[in-house]
Amino acid sequence: MITTAEKQDIRKLSLDEMKAFFVAHGEKEYRAKQVYEWIWMKAARDFDQMTNLSLATRELLKENFSFRLLHIDRMQRSADGTIKNAVKLHDGLVVESVLIPHERRITACVSSQVGCSLDCKFCATARLKRMRNLSVDEIYDQVVAIRDQAQLFFGRPLTNIVFMGMGEPLLNYSNVIGAIEKITSQNGLNFASRRITVSTVGIARMIRKMADDDVKFNLAVSLHAALNDTRSSIMPINESNRLQDLADALRYWYSRTKRKVTYEYVVWEGINDSPEHAAALLKFCKVIPCKVNLIEYNTIGDDTFRQASEEVIQSLMQLLERNGITTRIRRSRGKDIDAACGQLANKSG
Ligand code: SAH
């Protein structure tokens, strides 16, 4: 008898591994597809939900596998409708994911790692250090939970997914890709790739890899400065991933995918708001076709970083727009519950 702790998580199996399991146990191969659909398409959480399997087959599965579930430890709702989930993983660690309602869209913002290794000076998650990568099912389950909340609380479907929660998605590449494959698969959530955005600090070699892998989702790069010295001082990753490397990788990305990139830029007073910075940003925007999101700064409780004035932000936007770069100012959501960009840090945990 295998105890629950030793049993393998059924969701770690590929479809082929599941087929092999059934064949090895004298069952029909097509059972694997049925089980796979229950797990990924119908989000079953218990073998007894798999009603098209015989009792004996369900018993066979129960003897050999378990479901490693994550559960929502705490749910907070912001005055603006944003919902933040503290998601407890099977080993007790906690990550956060956020539902952001808009007039016509509902966006899920999901985490890819517990903590983060990148140490961006303006981000609360950086203070947690990286504990571990999330698995495919831990990423997938955050999406399923938010999809269900979208229906429950808003009566509307989930329309967009952004990998802008905790962690650096491109440093957990294979699991992020595995989760996106399941999210977009017909046997999974059948979600459109073009409604998914992966946001990265800009790891050049991984951007090239994504281009080679011919991915179909959107790419966002947290730029925040287009001058090396400034960028290195606020984002240490820039020391090993210079802006030139990033630009080269982005040219490669565009040549392969023909997809625009979105740059995220928070304008901070005295840090990246000078005319030189604006000119450098404009120049960087010529590297490949792009859009710019000027993100509102969410304070993380120290005063090194202060958002630039509305006038400075507006004039940067006008400069970019005059030069043909689509630019949006992204207002924060969920600030009152620390659910906004850069604020995810398990305060509740
Ligand atoms: N590691 C990935 C995804 C997580 S951060 C990345 O760096 O893109 C998601 C976005 O929030 C990034 O653009 C990040 O730079 C931004 N961000 C981080 N801290 C922030 C803060 N305090 N206020 C506003 N945006 C912040």
Name the fold adopted by 71-337. TIM Barrel (3.20.20)
Q: How far is the CA of 254 from the centre of ligand 1 (A)?
A: 23
Query: CA angle, corner 123, sides to 118 and 127, nearest 5?
Result: 65
For 158-190, write each residue's pLDDT tens digit.
999 999 999 999 999 999 999 999 999 987 899
Q: Where do the structural domains in the chain lie, given as residue ranges?
A: 8-66, 71-337
Packing angle, helices 173-184 and 136-149, rounded to 10: 40
Q: Is 96 a catalytic residue?
A: yes
For 202-231, write each residue's pLDDT tens digit.
999 999 999 999 999 999 999 999 999 999
For 111-133, write each residue's pLDDT tens digit.
999 999 999 999 988 777 778 99
3-state secondary structure at position 322: helix
Q: How far is the CA of 222 from the centre of ligand 1 (A)?
A: 7
| Probe target for ligand 1 pocket from 111, 170, 199, with the most ligand atoms within 8 Å of CB | 199
Determine if the pTM surpasses 0.85: yes
pLDDT band at 2 (very low <50, low <70, confident <90, very high): low
Distance CA 267, CA 272 (A): 6
CATH class of the domain at 8-66: mainly alpha
